[in-house]
Structure 1
């Protein structure tokens, strides 16, 4: 039996060995790059010929791994993203789609990408990082290759429609809210309104813009609405330990935590953590947010607060020459976040709540203080709060005093530590390593020529058919017509007795007149 299993495994590997795979991961976020690189590097190690459109150079050189560098957005000055927490939800919809337009067009205008599009190269598969870049779906049709989508933020209103995953607004919150799957009536009402606004914006505003990109940057004529639902599979950087239970369609596969691996820490960080007798705190707001944008007085007060704590603090900060740095604080422009969280001395993690950071904290069982700023971060933090593994500190309330109170709550309440360890066990309790699971499904699509049998029937419907808008309108019109006909009939019936009564009265008066004569 064992020999048979080995034979099948070797045969399968040989069958899909050497496929030409194009990875499209143009996001300027370094966290998104890490996820894409881990995925594509593993494919290269398995013998596939990989071409990667990326905003960053690879960290590891492989002979069958080629990079097309599209780093224009990386080199542009970074916008201050902190104020976005206060935006109205309509402005948030517009802002996030505007970001999608920038990433989409930046990749398509890149000379290396244009050379690839106009070359005679062919690919067996396209793996596409999906985040409001629908025009990039044209890569699949252009190269006549099946598409595997990858979402770094899990399933959301920004990608579920592409794979036919139906989201009920009664239990699935929109990313722009801070709700969980347990919503009150008014939360469900607001969630539904935002959901409808997002669909209308996507259909009426966003899709026409992406159609223009396709017409402008691809030589073949393609209709966006004909190609947008051509994906064979969607891989999600999520897991039930970091998100909420979801009824996902067959073509949606969760691989959250696939990028986590153990690496040796730099000597200075290793020594700093080893000597942290009272534990250590990691303070990092991710790769897209600069703590230097905080008011200087707020930062000074936070440093003073850290100096009074018995724990050591690792701070990701853009200026390593920060004045008045306490002796128990280590500052670096870049920190190996996952490897630090793995250290036994880590007792708390101050984070912006990005899904990559949340996943690493959950995997290593470290409780969090979440300070969400934009995008999916508020929802991620809300979910962690509900699981009892995080404390939420709104950005508008970020002061040294409030941060200290949140840290004390996490450090002194044993429930946060216990819940974090329990949640870590849930994430780790899987029959297959998530990276191997991702490889299996990618190669499954290759083996089955696009795996069209996984396709959901909802992809054949227009959005108004999918959400039964046409049925609701039909029923409403039918009810109005029925009411009108019934009311009209009642008026007619009510008129006859009156006519009969008047006629009888006339006959009686005529008869009485005759009697008199």
Structure 2
């Protein structure tokens, strides 16, 4: 090959490979604080990659970046959870709520989408004809209404899912996985499933699909047409069908990682980015916490029930029992507790209203993590190699804790009025058995043994989607094959029809023959 031709090819490759700073819309509309942590991680990595980010959020950043960044404040969405008794652990405990109905979560996601798309700041954005974006990244939880943004701006759509590879999201880009081995994200069942568990998972999926098909999705279609129809009409364009739009995503990012066992198969356009919210290196601890952990001769036990469910909503009697129980240990206990009114706190118990969790877990003196089992906390435990004791309450926490136990680095304690006694027994087991710490370190090594860190992977795949105009080459052909073809129902129909016809003909032939001859003579009537 001649040198000029080689140079031309190199230059051509360079210009096709490089993506200038993109204009990215990142949408995090749900009034769930932990989800906003994932959104902030997405924003941070896109900014570091040199892109311009518009961040639609319920929790605006108090100290936002000054370059290539703007916020669209939709904080009024918090009204959706204001005064919600489901946020009280005491209410959940007293009413023995064990599982959140999928119907309720569908309605929650739908109402959040309705509030977001009708927010004055969002309407202002949509009605500005000068606005444009190169790609849309938005949170995905039970509602696909935000896919309308990609229609307006005629750009690729990327979902960011706060959990792992579950059938509810995989169905948007591929064939939904089987309930025989892929439990629902709200389920307490773990693989391998028994017969009754398989039936339970199938029934759960049928219920979810029934309500989605006949109630949620028709209403979402109406919202989609009411919001995006007029916007496109002003731009001289016709609104595409809702069902075509929701299945047109280029990519889904899943907030999970390769160290987790029993993950279902995923198509090429599903990418794991678990741990993207964790800053590296972690921020240093403030001096009082740093000194406290450094000087804890027997190590530290860290306890947090997360940001969505808070320790202060535990029953008062149970709080006092937990304090008394923690006081019996020689280890220092750091408890994230959102109230300063606690009395008679033992000397070894340190109360913090807000804990810099990753910075605490990163300290080598932390012996274990007592957690509600939220996915962000679960990922952080694996990231830093800290064994956990899970106290699941609702949502996906039961699934996450069960997975952690299955992976060998966790113990599970049921939420009950006997929590203090049960938790004490679990802490003693974990302090005396080094296998949990060893397994946590092993999983952490697997977690970190990846070709690309999650933040860099996210930036690369977003750029790849834009570079390739929607990454059509990554999409699964199964999404466009009708169910009857995937199950070979047409072939089954042909076989049954042919078999029935042959049986019918054989019976007629036999009847006809029997009508003509009867023991060698013509049969008389």
Q: TM-score, normalised by structure 2?
A: 0.87
3-state SS of paired residue (2:18): helix
Q: Secondary structure at the match of 1:395?
A: coil
Aligned structure 1 segments of 4 or more residues deviating by more than 6 angstroms:
7-10
- The alignment status of 1:330 with 2:350, answered yes or no, reads yes
Indicate if the aligned counterparts of 2:261 and 2:407 stay in contact, CA closer than 8 A. Answer: no
- Assess if the C-alpha contact under 8 Å between 2:175 and 2:479 holds in 1: no
Equivalent pair of 1:242/1:358 in contact (CA under 8 Å): no
Task: Give the superposed CA RMSD.
Answer: 2.9
CA 1:193/1:485 → structure 2, altered by over 3 Å: closer, same or farther?
A: farther
Tell me which residue corresponds to 1:493: 510
Equivalent position to 1:123, from 133, 137, 162? 133
2:26 to 23, 27, 40: 23
CA contact (8 A) 1:21 1:51 kept: yes
Query: Superposition pairs for residues 463-502 of structure 1, below 5 Å?
Result: 464-465=483-484, 468=487, 471-472=488-489, 475=492, 479=496, 482=499, 486=503, 489-490=506-507, 493=510, 497=514, 500-501=517-518
Moved more, 489-498 or 48-57: 489-498
Change (3 A) 1:165 1:152: farther
Q: 1:408-449, CA deviations, whole angstroms, 9 ceiling, x for partnerless residues?
A: 222211110110010010001112222111111111112112
Deviating more after overlay: 160-169 vs 100-109: 160-169
Among 196, 200, 206, the alignment partner of 1:196 is 206
Aligned partners of 1:9 and 1:109: how far apart in 2?
45
8 A Cα contact 1:105 1:213, kept in partner = yes
Do residues 378 (structure 1) and 398 (structure 2) align? yes
Pick closer, same or farther for the CA change 1:296–1:10 going to 2, 3 Å.
Answer: farther
Secondary structure of the residue aligned to 1:171 is coil
Equivalent residue, structure 2, for 1:73: 77
1:280 Cα deviation from its structure 2 partner: 0.9
1:62 aligned partner: 66
After TM superposition, the structure 1 stretch with the greater mean CA deviation from structure 2, 389-398 or 309-318, is: 389-398
Q: Is the 8 A contact 1:126 1:146 kept in 2?
A: yes
TM-score by length of 1: 0.89
Mean alpha-carbon deviation: is it higher for 194-203 or for 278-287? 194-203
Distance in 1 of aligned mates of 2:451 and 2:168:
30
Q: Could you tell me which residue of structure 1 aligns to residue 49 of structure 2? A: 46
Contact kept? 1:17, 1:46, Cα under 8 Å = no
Q: Which has the larger radius of gyration?
A: 1
1:74 is paired with a residue whose SS is helix
Change (3 A) 1:153 1:475: same
CA distance in 2, matches of 1:168, 1:63: 46
> 1:31 deviation in Å?
1.9
Q: Distance between the aligned counterparts of 2:409 and 2:301, measured in 1?
A: 15
Q: Which runs of 5+ in 1 are unaligned?
A: 508-517
Preserved CA contact (<8 Å) 2:515 2:523: no
Matched, 1:101 2:107: no
Deviations 1:329-374 (A, max 9, x none): 1222211111111111111111111111000000111111111122
CA contact (8 A) 2:148 2:224 kept: yes
- 2:177 corresponds to: 167
Length, aligned pairs only: 498
1:420 corresponds in structure 2 to 440
Q: Classify 1:152/1:200 alpha carbon distance in 2 versus 1 (closer, same or farther; 3 Å).
A: same
Q: Counterparts of 1:137-148 in structure 2 under 5 Å?
A: 137-148=147-158
2: CA distance, partners of 1:61 / 1:297? 44
Separation in 2 of the partners of 1:473 and 1:324?
Answer: 72
Q: Deviation at 1:476?
A: 6.5
Does residue 32 in structure 1 map to residue 38 in structure 2?
no
Task: For residue 250 of structure 2, give the secondary structure of its aligned residue in structure 1.
Answer: strand
What SS does structure 1 have at the residue aligned with 2:136?
Answer: strand
Mark the CA change 1:100 to 1:506 in structure 2 (over 3 Å): closer, same or farther. closer
The answer as to 2:244 corresponding to 1:226 is yes
Unaligned 5+ segments in structure 2 are: 1-6, 233-238
CA distance in 1 between counterparts of 2:267 and 2:504 reads 46
Is the 1:242–1:359 contact (alpha carbons within 8 Å) kept by the matching residues of 2?
Answer: no
Q: Note if contact 2:103-2:208 (Cα within 8 Å) is conserved in structure 1.
A: no
- Preserved contact between residue 25 and residue 33 of structure 1 (Cα < 8 Å): yes
Deviations 1:204-226 (A, max 9, x none): 22211211211222223342101
Report the equivalent of 2:122: 113
Alpha-carbon distance in 1 for matches of 2:13, 2:49: 12
Between the aligned partners of 2:16 and 2:66, the Cα distance in structure 1 is 20
C-alpha separation between the residues in 1 aligned to 2:485 and 2:205?
14
Tell me what 2:4 maps to: none
Residue among 322, 327, 334 paired with 1:302: 322
Query: How many angstroms does 1:202 deviate by?
Result: 2.1
| 1:11 Cα deviation after fit | 4.7
Shifted more, 26-35 versus 340-349: the winner is 26-35
**CA displacement at 1:86 relative to structure 2:** 5.1
Match for residue 277 of structure 2? 259
CA drift at 1:483: 5.1
